[in-house]
Amino acid sequence: MVPFTDVLAQIRKGAVTEELNKALLAVNEAVIATGKKGELTLKLEIKPMKGNRAQVTVAAAIGVKTPKEELPEGIFFLTNDGDLVRNDPDQQELFKAVPPTANTDRPYTPPVRGAG
């Protein structure tokens, strides 16, 4: 009996095994990065040739399911108009932004010690 791996290596002149290696690496990397499961499938379709039952065609399909990182959720509030905002529109602000003064345009210069 011819080993399965030998037959697989001959499909499309070895291109299938090369694609499987790349796909396996991609799944492994995604599994490590996310800590979630991944999947790699190989499907072989074997069909008899018309007029000759001793010959068949073999087609390979590779399926890859890589796990995805979950994006973090954000908390928002709905306004009466249906808009999404970060601050609760029904809650008073505890602190208000202080408007800048005229002195904030100049860079800070520390006092010189020992002068004078």
Four-point Cα dihedral 71, 72, 75, 80, nearest 10 = 0
Q: Is the pLDDT of residue 108 over 90?
A: no
Residue-wise pLDDT for 42-67, tens only, equals 999 999 999 988 999 999 999 999 99
Asked whether residue 97 is domain-assigned, the answer is no
What pairs with residue 48 in β-bridges?
56
Q: Is the pLDDT of residue 1 over 60?
A: yes
Asked whether residue 96 is domain-assigned, the answer is no
Domain that holds residue 39: 4-65
Asked whether residue 107 is domain-assigned, the answer is no
What's the pTM? 0.59
Contact 101, 74 (CB under 8 A): no
Asked whether residue 54 is domain-assigned, the answer is yes
Residue-wise pLDDT for 5-23, tens only, equals 999 999 999 999 999 999 9
Asked whether residue 116 is domain-assigned, the answer is no
Contact 29, 67 (CB under 8 A): no
Asked whether residue 113 is domain-assigned, the answer is no
